[in-house]
Structure 1
Amino acid sequence: MKTLTLEDTQALGRQLAGVLRPGDLVILSGPLGAGKTALAQGIGAGLGVDGEVTSPTFVIARIHHGGRVPLVHADAYRLGAVNDPLGEVDALDLDASLEDSVTLVEWGEGMAEQLSDEYLEIRIDRHDDESREISLIPHAGDWSTRLASLLK
């Protein structure tokens, strides 16, 4: 699917929030500036979490409470530079809150998949005209069914 502006990307995030539930793992990938955090902001708004959703690059992970489901928002960007990125993801203990929250991991491809057999991968590609191509890739579980209801 295509979004034309960052606001459209946030709006898509709000729509996605409607199909998210406790225990969901969402992995966001795309280059710098693609709109990963904008999508996360929309998801946070759609879930009704407290506070502003910002990039957790320097703190690695933030938990946003309130709303219908808590949001654990992690950023694995800096973990790619360590000797054992999989071990670092494991050390974040994200699986401790996985059952009770939506866990969203930016830059998590190749690392965060170990957290759950069922997850949604979202790839974002930004074009020169600032539009974005967003691919929703379900991995196991009932993601295909949930996404079909979203895309009607």
Structure 2
Amino acid sequence: MTEPDVTRTELADADATRRLGRALAGLLRAGDLVVLTGDLGAGKTTFTQGIGAGLGVRGQVASPTFIIARVHPSLTDGPALVHVDAYRLGSLDEVDALDLDASLDESVTVVEWGEGLVESLAEDRLEVSLRRPRGGAGTLGVGGSGPARAASGEDEDASAGTRVVELRGVGPRWAGVELPVVG
């Protein structure tokens, strides 16, 4: 089996991250599963905001960290957006309890922190990895967050800094699909 192609792009800021999400929304359809990875502040929710805008869904797309999953119905004739934050989920049983597969066929499902937890939901998925600079040197990293990082003087402004985004389609649904690149 061959490794899926990766589309890699650098995004200047949060607005560019939203634009890429919006461009991707033009390719998404009901039944699509999008799995987002990246550390805190990398732009996962910002990217999902772009997807929501591109799909024309109702409601503000915000991090569903404490709700776990939020459904944004379509304001057009397109699919709803199911936005999931799996950060607090620790097992496949907890993912199964969300019953995501019940709405998967009629919605676009975007799962933040889903790597290693939701791949079994669908044979086809789009894996999106987001990274952004950490610290004064502008290096990309997957460092921690919180008080220790803030005390070190590192940049914690989630809207600042170039992001590197990698898009990887997995399964027949994504074979031959040209994924967007936005600068």
Q: Same fold (TM over 0.5)?
A: yes
Q: Distance in 2 between matches of 1:110 and 1:149?
A: 23
Match for residue 79 of structure 2 among 69, 82, 85: 69
CA drift of 1:143 comes to 1.2
Alignment of 1:21-40 (within 5 A): 21-40=29-48
Distance 1:116 1:72 in 2: 15
2:45 and 2:62 in contact (8 A); partners too? yes
User: Could you tell me whether the CA contact under 8 Å between 2:20 and 2:180 is conserved in 1?
Assistant: no
Bigger radius of gyration among the two: 2
State the percentage of identical aligned residues: 53
How well do the aligned residues superpose, as a CA RMSD in angstroms?
Answer: 1.4
1:88 pairs with 94, 110, 126, which one?
A: 94
Deviation at 1:69, TM superposition (A): 1.3
CA deviation vs aligned residue, 1:69-113 (integer Å, no higher than 9, x gap) = 100000000113xxxx11100110000000000000000000010
2:139 paired with 1:109: no
TM-score by length of 2: 0.77
On the 8 A contact 2:36/2:128 being kept in 1, the answer is yes
SS of 1:142's partner is helix
1:150 pairs with 2:180? yes
- Superimposed CA distance per residue, residues 112-139 of structure 1 (whole angstroms, 9 cap, x where no aligned partner): 1010111000000111451000000111
More helix by share: 1
CA contact (8 A) 2:24 2:179 kept: no
Query: Which residue is 2:170 aligned to?
Result: 139
